[in-house]
């Protein structure tokens, strides 16, 4: 029985496979023949001694580190989570370099938008020092330190910051969809260097623009200048596939209001004479205005005729008597009756009109509204906690607009320097307003809070505790607002998001060393213990811990899990039977046959869990005969 791989996705191996697909003749025994590759690429290879390049001490090593697999895992923390069984959101505590490696198999090419607010390298903030030998152990040691600043007197001041960012951005790019985008906040300290490494990693042709954010309207004294702004860099994964969305122009004045806000009205018919009932017959049909069912200036409408109804078709052109048609087909109209389209009377004539809630515009490169200020962000956090726990958090308004511009309603949004979790807050707020199903993944190093800080005094020993609690409180606040809106509107408005299905939860995972003893290279065996070792799972780990490590290795970390009973044994069905994981003991051939009847594609066993060697040997043959594609063990 073959073993499952002990590490995260091997990116070096993946890159070799990609080259092999393009140029199979340059790969021999898994190695690249660069002389052959140069011949094939011809004049496109730059082999000049003197050429433009951006380099620093450690760059080659940090590229290699980014591509080396991680030996760690992510441990579930159900007690620290909210709505574990129903939520699609994640909060992950750990070094983001290792976490990004862990996410590669499952989320490779699935993230529509990334936002990060990394350390600005101002001298007092934390810049992580990666370890090329054992980054998991290094992570554990550094999270217990209080003094982790990167002072300007450090001889590797810029180098350390560049090494930290380059490897993480390399991994982040892999996770983006083909039409995905990344936004990165930064200030003057490393703006130039960040632009250079982003041009290398994403390609300068994928640079979309740079936002100037009026983060400090009252200006902060930096000596010789009162600084008011910082930046957000905006890159795409692939500019030819990039999709962005317009944002609302909230400065527009409205004549009418309902429980969703202000609106003006516009006729639903299309006044373009090129579209008529002859060439667009599907857009020519009657609405019915229900007389007597009126609220203020508007009438209820439907597509079914009733005794009190007036039939309304699109009008004809006054100039040449061309029959106009509606701009919406019946299906779309039926979904928006009496919410976004309504009846209206003008001079004894009934019309069908659409509510125009806002005009839209491209997101502007100058973000100067006060909603983008760091003072607003500080006030938002203070309002949630009734205490000033976090310095200069990003405001919800900034993330709100970036998410609208850079994502879609069913997108996954990643923030791997998540801080106080503004990104998660903004995702939930936007979903509550437009009914979207966006999911967030927050990743944060559990940096210790200073013992003299208000956060520490309030009981928050690290930044992760602040971020998680903000999501809990903000989520409950948003849900209560939905409940209040629903109660006020009654059953008449289906456009209000259902508070009961609104996702304000999150699953918590924590970066740890592997659960599997044979995979842990730090464990030493001697001649007395190596042959007595039968249990492969560490004593302090649970079956759930091991299950999620297997899901990470298999790339199904985002799939639903169901605990099932097979022949009285406890097992797990992932992705509705795609993968079955059996970690129980005393597994017999009868149990194996019952698993096969469930028709999974893949099955994982604990090798030490079989009743005897004969059952273990026959398990693979039996399951493959029953149609299982792959059988492996840990």
DSSP, residue by residue, 479-536:
HHHHHHHHHHHTTS-TTSPPTTT----BEEEEEEE-SBGGG-TT----TTTTTT----
Instruction: Say how far apart CA 384 and CA 364 lie, in whole Å.
Output: 29
- Cα distance between the two ends of the chain: 10
User: What letters, b where the CB count within 10 A reaches 16 and e where it falls short, cover 297-335?
Assistant: ebbbbbeeeeeebbebbbeeeeeeebbbbbbbeeeebee
pLDDT of residue 386: 93
Q: Count of alpha carbons within 13 Å of 79, Cβ hemisphere only? A: 0
pLDDT tens across 501-535, in order?
A: 999 999 999 999 999 987 776 665 444 444 444 67
Query: Which residues, 6+ apart, have CB-to-CB distance to 13 below 8 Å?
Result: none
pLDDT at 573: 97
552, pLDDT greater than 90: yes
219: phi then psi, degrees, rounded to nearest 5 = 70, 145
CA atoms of 217 and 378, how far apart (whole Å) = 14
User: pLDDT digit string (tens) for 118-160?
Assistant: 999 877 666 667 766 677 877 777 777 655 566 665 657 789 8
Q: Is residue 492 pLDDT above 70, yes or no?
A: no
Whole-model pTM? 0.81
Phi, psi angle pair for 580, to nearest 5°: -115, 130
Rounded (10°) CA dihedral 530, 536, 540, 546: 160
Rounded CA-CA distance 467/510 in Å is 14
Better-scored residue on pLDDT, 100 or 148: 100
Q: Does residue 565 sit in helix, strand or coil?
A: strand
* pLDDT of the residue at 36: 72
Q: What distance in Å separates the CA atoms of residue 188 and residue 180, rounded to the nearest whole number?
A: 26
Q: How confident is the model at residue 249 (pLDDT cuts 50, 70, 90)?
A: confident
Count of beta carbons in the 10 Å neighbourhood of residue 169: 23
d(CA 125, CA 616): 54
Query: Cα–chain-centroid distance for residue 277?
Result: 45
The pLDDT tens digits of the residues spanning 31-88 come to: 887 777 777 777 676 676 666 778 899 999 999 999 999 989 999 999 999 999 999 9
Compute the chain's Rg from CA coordinates.
29
320 pLDDT higher than 80: yes
C-alpha distances in Å from residue 609, one per residue of 333, 348, 582, 598: 59, 81, 9, 20
351-374 tens-digit pLDDT? 999 998 777 788 999 999 999 999
28 has pLDDT over 80 = no
For residue 296, the model assigns a pLDDT of 82
Do residues 283 and 332 make contact, with C-beta atoms less than 8 angstroms apart? no
Per-residue pLDDT of 384-424, as tens digits, reads 999 989 888 999 999 999 999 999 999 999 999 999 999 99
Amino acid 122: pLDDT: 78
What is the reported pLDDT for 271?
Answer: 87
Q: What is the mean pLDDT of residues 95-119?
A: 97
Asked if residues 581 and 547 have their Cβ atoms less than 8 Å apart, the reply is yes
More confident call, 27 vs 627? 627
Q: What structural domains does the chain harbor? A: 2-44 (no CATH), 59-248+362-508 (3.40.50.150), 253-357 (no CATH), 527-633 (3.40.140)
């Amino acid at each position: 029985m073959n073993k499952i791989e002990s590490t995260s996705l091997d990116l070096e191996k993946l890159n070799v496979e990609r080259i092999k697909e393009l140029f199979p003749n340059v790969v021999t025994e898994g190695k690249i023949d660069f002389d052959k590759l140069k011949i094939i690429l011809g004049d496109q290879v730059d082999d000049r001694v003197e050429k433009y390049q951006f380099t620093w001490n450690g760059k080659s090593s940090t590229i290699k580190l980014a591509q080396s697999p991680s030996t760690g895992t992510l441990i579930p923390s159900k007690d620290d989570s909210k709505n574990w069984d129903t939520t699609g959101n994640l909060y992950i505590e750990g070094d983001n370099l290792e976490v990004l490696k862990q996410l590669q198999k499952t989320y490779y090419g699935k993230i529509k938008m990334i936002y990060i607010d990394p350390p600005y390298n101002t001298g007092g903030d934390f810049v992580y020092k990666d370890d090329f030998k054992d980054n998991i152990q290094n992570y554990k040691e550094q999270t217990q330190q209080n003094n982790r600043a990167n002072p300007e007197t450090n001889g590797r001041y810029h180098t350390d910051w560049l090494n930290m960012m380059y490897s993480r951005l390399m991994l982040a790019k892999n996770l983006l969809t083909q039409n995905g985008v990344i936004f990165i906040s930064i200030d003057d300290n490393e703006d130039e260097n960040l632009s250079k490494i982003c041009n290398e990693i994403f390609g300068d042709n994928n640079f979309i623009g740079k936002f100037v954010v009026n983060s400090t309207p009252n200006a902060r004294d930096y000596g010789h200048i009162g600084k008011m702004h910082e930046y957000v860099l905006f890159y795409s994964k692939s500019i030819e596939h990039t999709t962005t969305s317009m944002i609302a122009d909230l400065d527009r004045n409205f004549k009418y209001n309902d429980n969703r806000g202000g609106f003006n009205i516009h006729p639903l018919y299309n006044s373009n004479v090129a579209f008529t009932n002859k060439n667009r017959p599907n857009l020519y049909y009657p609405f019915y205005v229900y007389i007597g069912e009126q609220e203020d200036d508007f009438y209820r409408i439907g597509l079914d005729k009733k005794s009190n109804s007036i039939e309304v078709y699109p009008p004809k052109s006054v100039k040449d008597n061309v029959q106009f048609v509606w701009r919406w087909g019946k299906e779309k109209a039926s979904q928006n009756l009496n919410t976004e389209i309504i009846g209206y009377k003008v001079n004894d004539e009934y019309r069908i009109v659409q509510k125009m809630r806002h005009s839209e515009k491209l997101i502007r490169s100058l973000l100067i509204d006060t909603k983008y200020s760091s003072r607003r962000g500080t006030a938002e956090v203070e309002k949630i906690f009734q205490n000033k726990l976090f310095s200069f958090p990003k405001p919800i308004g900034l993330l709100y607009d970036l998410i609208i511009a850079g994502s879609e309603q069913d997108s996954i949004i990643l923030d791997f320097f998540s801080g106080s979790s503004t990104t998660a807050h903004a995702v939930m707020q936007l979903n509550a307003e437009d009914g979207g199903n966006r999911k967030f993944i927050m990743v944060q190093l559990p940096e210790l809070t200073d013992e003299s800080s208000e956060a520490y005094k309030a009981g928050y020993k690290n930044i992760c505790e602040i971020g998680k609690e903000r999501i809990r409180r903000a989520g409950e606040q948003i849900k209560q607002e939905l409940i209040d809106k629903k109660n006020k509107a009654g059953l008449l408005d289906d456009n209000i998001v259902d508070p009961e299905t609104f996702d304000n939860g999150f699953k918590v995972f924590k970066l740890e060393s592997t659960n599997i003893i044979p995979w842990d290279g730090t464990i030493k065996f001697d001649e007395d213990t190596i042959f007595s070792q039968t249990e492969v799972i560490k004593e302090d780990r649970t079956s759930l811990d091991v299950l999620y490590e297997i899901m990470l290795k298999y790339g199904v970390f985002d799939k639903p899990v169901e605990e099932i009973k097979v022949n009285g044994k406890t097992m797990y069905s992932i992705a509705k039977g795609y993968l079955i994981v059996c970690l129980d003991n005393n597994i017999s051939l009868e149990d194996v046959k019952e698993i096969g009847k469930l028709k999974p594609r893949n099955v994982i066993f604990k090798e030490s869990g079989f009743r005897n060697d004969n059952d273990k040997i026959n398990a693979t043959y039996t399951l493959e005969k029953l149609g299982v594609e792959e059988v492996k063990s840990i």
